[in-house]
Structure 1
Amino acid sequence: MKMFASERRNKIMHLLHDKQRITVKELAKKTGVSEATLRSDLTRMEKDGLLTRTHGGAILNEYADNETSFSVREKRNKKEKSEIAREAFGFITEKQCILLDASSTALELARYLKHQPIRLTVVTSGLQSALELKENPDITVIMIGGVVTNGSTSIEGKLGLDILDYVNIDIMFTSASGFSLEKGLTDFNLYEVELKKEMVKRSRKVVAVIDSSKIGVNSSAVFAKVGQIDTLITDKPIESDIAEELSSYNIYLASPIMS
């Protein structure tokens, strides 16, 4: 069966996470794809900073490995993410239906909501977020169905998208591996990106919750263009020239320091 480029590259990353290094010949056997095509994929993925080409194969970049390890991402910039979560809570009102992606920043928002006396419906693709939110009796939690891969804490793929046809999403809170004016919101996991694209389309308002370390960074694939974002919440004010350009897109900027 023919594999799309995004499927091939995600498969390559899964194999690299298992072995840390792999040859083109091994990849060809595992994927059934020609070595020429795989070499092209590896070149593209090296440009994206996901791996390093070696003679006859590739090794996993330490940065890319960290990006896909949720336990590592969860600990990174934790204080900033907690501050962003508290700021994001100010955009939520009683009886709304909100959507949380499977990001570590969205998990911080879920942990904050867990202790708030507010009636909400929360739709999420994050397994850990759902487990946190179920502890609040005032919150109705709806999980998006799909595939859970080994080592993942998120739902991947589009199998459960039909559930979004039965709910009206007031606000989607989403994070990303990177945000830039040129690309918008970008993420590493290509399967998650496909799901998040659909989430964005089906939400009335999109609030990006991004710690400042990700501003100006581009990851593998775009899931929301700048024009699709309504609000950007970060842990500290961003550079004035970027702020001015975002304002031209009618994107509202917020941070705990500005509040």
Structure 2
Amino acid sequence: MKMFASERRSKIIDLLHERKRITVKEIASQIGVSEATLRTDLNKMENDGLLTRTHGGAVINEDKENDTSFNVRQKKNKKEKIQISKRALDLIEEKQCILLDASSTALELARLLNSTSLRLTVVTSGLQTAIELKDNPDITVILIGGVVTKKSTSIEGTLGIDILDYVNIDIMFTSANGFSLENGLEDFNLYEVQIKKEIVKRASKVIALVDSSKIGKSSSAVFAKFGQIDRLITDQPIESPFLNKLDAHHIDTIITNET
């Protein structure tokens, strides 16, 4: 079966997390593609800051590895994430069906939902988010099916994506590892990107929950272009030309710390 570039690169990242250093020959034997194809992948991934090329292989970037740890991400900019989540909570109405991704920001929003009596259906790809909400009698939790890998707190791949054909998602609340001027919302986990792309297509409204440290930053792959985003909630005022592009695409912006 032919493997897409995004799938290959996710497998390469998985191998690097396990071994820290790997050769092109080792990767080829693991995932069954040509060494020439893998060299192209590794060069692209190095340009994206995911790894460093070595003679005959690659090593993982330690700072990027730390970025991908959910526990690390959960603690990073926690105050800003809570502020963003509080503003997001104001946008949720009784009896809506909302989507929360597997991000640490969406988990903060889930915690806030537990302090309300809103009757909702919550669809999620986040294991932590599902666990957070599962005992709430007012909320029906739908967990998207798929693959769970070591150290992951999210459902990966598109095996269970068909469940989205049976629900109408009023709002998708999603965070990102980067929100680049060139491409839009981007993430580092290419399996999660696959799911997010499908959800973006189906959701009536897409709201990005992105703290200011992610604005202007790129990551591995794009899951939502500017034209697919309805609203951005962030913690600090946005400068031009980023603000100009948001305005050009009629993206409403909420700033939590605006003076």
- Give the TM-score category using the shorter length: over 0.9
Q: Distance in 2 between matches of 1:243 and 1:230?
A: 14
In the alignment, structure 2 segments of 5+ residues that lack a partner are none
Contact 2:175-2:209 at 8 Å conserved across structures: yes
Q: Secondary structure at the match of 1:204?
A: coil
Q: TM-score, normalised by structure 1?
A: 0.96
2:39 equivalent in structure 1: 39
The CA deviation string for residues 94-151 of structure 1, in whole angstroms up to 9 with x for no partner, is 1111000111111111111111121111110100001111232111111111111111
Contact 2:10-2:189 at 8 Å conserved across structures: yes
1:221 aligns with 2:221: yes
Number of residue-to-residue matches in the alignment:
259
Q: Distance in 1 between matches of 2:18 and 2:184?
A: 30
2:257 equivalent in structure 1: 257
Q: Secondary structure at the match of 1:159?
A: coil
The CA deviation string for residues 179-230 of structure 1, in whole angstroms up to 9 with x for no partner, is 0231000111111111100000110000000010000011111100001000
Q: Secondary structure at the match of 1:169?
A: coil
Q: Which moved more, 1:97-106 or 1:237-246?
A: 237-246
1:53 equivalent in structure 2: 53
1:181 equivalent in structure 2: 181
1:157 equivalent in structure 2: 157
How large is the RMSD of aligned CA atoms in angstroms? 1.3
Contact 2:216-2:242 at 8 Å conserved across structures: no
Q: Which moved more, 1:214-223 or 1:35-44?
A: 35-44
Q: After TM superposition, give the deviation of residue 80 of structure 1 in Å.
A: 0.8
The CA deviation string for residues 214-248 of structure 1, in whole angstroms up to 9 with x for no partner, is 00011111100001000000012211442233112
2:148 equivalent in structure 1: 148
Identity %: 69
1:106 equivalent in structure 2: 106
Q: Secondary structure at the match of 1:146?
A: coil
Amino acid at match of 2:76: R
Q: Distance in 1 between matches of 2:112 and 2:6?
A: 34
Amino acid at match of 1:84: I
Q: Secondary structure at the match of 1:63?
A: helix
- Please list, as runs of the form range in 1=range in 2, the aligned pairs for 1:113-152 lying within 5 A after superposition: 113-152=113-152
Q: Distance in 2 between matches of 1:47 and 1:229?
A: 26
1:12 aligns with 2:4: no
Q: Distance in 2 between matches of 1:11 and 1:220?
A: 13
Contact 1:115-1:136 at 8 Å conserved across structures: no
Q: Distance in 1 between matches of 2:194 and 2:21?
A: 26
Q: Distance in 1 between matches of 2:131 and 2:251?
A: 32
Contact 1:190-1:221 at 8 Å conserved across structures: yes
Q: After TM superposition, give the deviation of residue 4 of structure 1 in Å.
A: 2.1
Q: After TM superposition, give the deviation of residue 165 of structure 1 in Å.
A: 1.2
Q: Distance in 2 between matches of 1:237 and 1:196?
A: 26
Amino acid at match of 2:77: N
In the alignment, structure 1 segments of 5+ residues that lack a partner are none
Q: Secondary structure at the match of 1:213?
A: helix
Contact 1:200-1:206 at 8 Å conserved across structures: yes
Q: TM-score, normalised by structure 2?
A: 0.96
1:242 equivalent in structure 2: 242
Q: Secondary structure at the match of 1:131?
A: helix
2:170 equivalent in structure 1: 170
